[in-house]
Chain A
Amino acid sequence: MSETVLKLNRITMQFGGLMAVNDFSMDVNRGEVVAIIGPNGAGKTTAFNVITGVYAPTNGSVDFCGETIISNRPQGKMRKLYAGDADSICDRVVRKTPDRITKLGIARTFQNIRLFKSLTVFENVLIAKHMNIKANLFSAAFMLNRHEEHRMRQETAQLLEILELADVADEVASSLPYGKQRRLEIARAIATGPELLLLDEPAAGMNPQETNDLIHLIHRLKQDFQLTVLMIEHHMNLVMEISDRIYVLDFGRLIASGTPDHIQNDKRVIDAYLGVAEDE
């Protein structure tokens, strides 16, 4: 068994009375492609938001490469309201902001594309290089960091080449066709130099041809950049073809996990997706 990159430890996320994620534990090993699937509203994106620091979980912790990046226990108002299955286990409270987590090596894309719309494709990717800038404001403004700036631009150009976006580098991001916007989001995430890439429904709205291209792209990127991939996806073909392991969420709870073959034949998963008789 290889090294664990990401470890979710009994994560619970409760919004008021709504239990979005309940006692969810998972781990992702280096070099794996792991998928989280589940019906709409199952809490998949919430889990992503917890991992990336957008939401502080109500309870539980997240470890990345052995370091605890997020940890919380029910506090304040939540102490009374808390209805999660897991006990309050973390006594430390750690809360890194999304930018710190990105710097540690977790990059993500968004379900509803969030590009810097009025900037060019090139600038979109170049911005992701900013976080490692060594020059301070003054030397950057007076262009004393030519070398660094040049390197940033060169890396951006290379990345666009790899992702076949070089021909549209100077176009405004919002003018791109949908598939390319998705690809640009991935490019931007990779530009931050992550170890773990989180993809939130990368194939949403894509036709079969584009989905096929995406499968190849993810495979290629995984090898080129030694990435570990965690993704949320609804396209079952894509999920079954690409993932090493799958976690299935339903109403915030983990109902199954395992290899694609295992998941495909799991009764609870089929029930969750197709609906059980008494559910209707």
Chain B
Amino acid sequence: MKTLDKKITYLLSAGLLAAAIMVLLYMDHNRTTYNYSLSILQRSAIYAVAAVAMNLLTGFTGLFSLGQAGFMAIGAYTVAILTIPVAQRPSVYYISGIAEPLAQATAPLWAALLLGGLFAALLGFFIGYPVLRLKSDYLAIATLGFSEIIRAFIAAPMLNRVTNGSYGLKSIPGFPSTLMVFLISGLCIFLMVLVIRSSYGRAFQAIREDEIAAESMGIGLFKHKQMAFVISCFFTGISGGMLAVFMRSIDSKTFQIGLTYDILLIVVLGGIGSITGSVLGSFLMTAGREWLRFFDNPLTIAGVQVPLFRTGFRMVIFSLILMAVVLYYRKGLMGTKEFSWNGIYAFLQRLGQKRSKTRPGKEGGNDE
């Protein structure tokens, strides 16, 4: 099959990127009209980071972890505690006051995000010691447990003076500019792609394919699993931090197991082992839920009210669509493939061939 010239694919990618930035800039400029869509896109971008981080672990290293919500919480609380303006802290911690060293501790947004990621990574490093010796489902259950422990800690009354317990944190300043979310998310995903494409990423994939063979190739299993886990936790933490800044108020309920499932759903929907799939999945899922709001409103056709259209019905439709996708695209939308211009080119070529096959006379005799 013919492939495209490398230069052309670079040009096309640059073009697509430029177009996306233009669209975002345009939407940002007319914020009054597009505010809602922009916030959906922002949320998608944040989820995309968490989804790619999960994919790095599940899709590329073969470790099935369900601790995303916990690590996101670590990132989110770190960022929130460090970025709430000092003047507003007494009003946020109005119940039990704020712990002394934290009362004055502030950090710029980028440093807070980085620190949030680092804390999550550090925790991942320690949790990794016991749990990474487990395999498949057992690992998932153990990480799920740890994630709940983190959440319970955050909500615990003993930590009221740090996390404000079950009252949550509010007055978190938002992003200074709308595009920043996309910039940070893009950077995070780019970094993860770099890791996956490096020699270490290949070692991760070897572990996914066959642990015993990987070990006999001189790849230290625990060391590399730990590495993948810590990297994943780092970016999950950053994603959580961004979520806090985006939502502007968080509490421990934000980071319930449902958040992990959302991320898992994105990864499965997009394709386990496909980065572009995860990104696509997060946009489809976040946007899909909103597009389906149509089903939440009562609908009257020709004077008859359609019975099922009421609040909550969209989630039924959403679930049905998910089931259909999983049934018909068993490996997710992208499978383990990545988006590439060559892929699209090949697809178009195949389409063209089919056309010409159905038209007799032209190339009809070329059937094998």
A141 CB contact (under 8 Å) in B200, B209, B212, B213: B200
B218 CB contact (under 8 Å) in A110, A131, A141, A152: A131
Contact status B209-A116, CB under 8 Å: yes
Interface centre among A52, A140, A152 (most CB of B within 10 A): A140
A108 vs B195: C-alpha distance in the bound complex, in angstroms? 28
Given A127-B203, A135-B199, A141-B200: A117 and B209 within 8 A (CB)? yes
A107 to chain B minimum Cβ distance, whole angstroms, is 7
Mask for B223-234, Cβ within 8 A of A = 1, else 0? Answer: 000010001000
Contact status A99-B199, CB under 8 Å: no
A190 to chain B minimum Cβ distance, whole angstroms, is 11
B215 CB contact (under 8 Å) in A98, A130, A152, A189: A98
CB neighbours of B203 from chain A (8 A): 127, 130
User: Looking at the complex, which of A34-42, A61-69, A118-126, A264-272 is the stretch in contact with chain B?
Assistant: A118-126
Contact status B199-A115, CB under 8 Å: no
Bin chain B's interface residue count. 20 to 34
B220 CB contact (under 8 Å) in A99, A126, A149: A99
A115 vs B213: C-alpha distance in the bound complex, in angstroms? 7
Contact status B219-A99, CB under 8 Å: yes
CB neighbours of A118 from chain B (8 A): 209, 336
Given A110-B213, A116-B210, A142-B194: A131 and B219 within 8 A (CB)? yes
A143 vs B193: C-alpha distance in the bound complex, in angstroms? 12
B191 CB contact (under 8 Å) in A131, A141, A145: A141
Question: Does B135 interact with chain A (Cβ within 8 Å)?
Answer: no
Question: Does B136 interact with chain A (Cβ within 8 Å)?
Answer: no
CB neighbours of A143 from chain B (8 A): 194, 198
A152 to chain B: closest residue by CB: B199
Mask for B195-210, Cβ within 8 A of A = 1, else 0? Answer: 1001110110110011
Contact status A128-B217, CB under 8 Å: yes
Given A54-B212, A114-B213: A127 and B202 within 8 A (CB)? yes
Question: Does B32 interact with chain A (Cβ within 8 Å)?
Answer: no
A107 vs B227: C-alpha distance in the bound complex, in angstroms? 24
Contact status A192-B217, CB under 8 Å: yes
Contact status B220-A114, CB under 8 Å: no
A152 vs B219: C-alpha distance in the bound complex, in angstroms? 15
B216 to chain A minimum Cβ distance, whole angstroms, is 5
Which residues from 46 to 101 on chain A have a C-beta closer than 8 Å to any C-beta of chain B?
Answer: 52, 54, 97-100
A3 vs B209: C-alpha distance in the bound complex, in angstroms? 37
Contact status A137-B216, CB under 8 Å: no
Question: Does A26 interact with chain B (Cβ within 8 Å)?
Answer: no
A108 vs B213: C-alpha distance in the bound complex, in angstroms? 9
B220 to chain A: closest residue by CB: A99
Contact status B217-A127, CB under 8 Å: yes
A97 vs B213: C-alpha distance in the bound complex, in angstroms? 13
Contact status A107-B202, CB under 8 Å: no
Given A99-B220, A141-B195: A130 and B202 within 8 A (CB)? yes
Give residues in B with beta carbon < 8 Å to A. 191, 194-195, 198-200, 202-203, 205-206, 209-210, 212-221, 227, 231, 336
Q: What 6 A-B pairs are tightest by C-beta distance, nearest first?
A: A131-B218, A116-B209, A102-B218, A114-B213, A140-B198, A98-B215
Give residues in A with beta carbon < 8 Å to B. 52, 54, 97-100, 102-103, 107-108, 110, 114-119, 123, 126-133, 135, 137, 140-143, 145, 149, 152, 188-189, 192
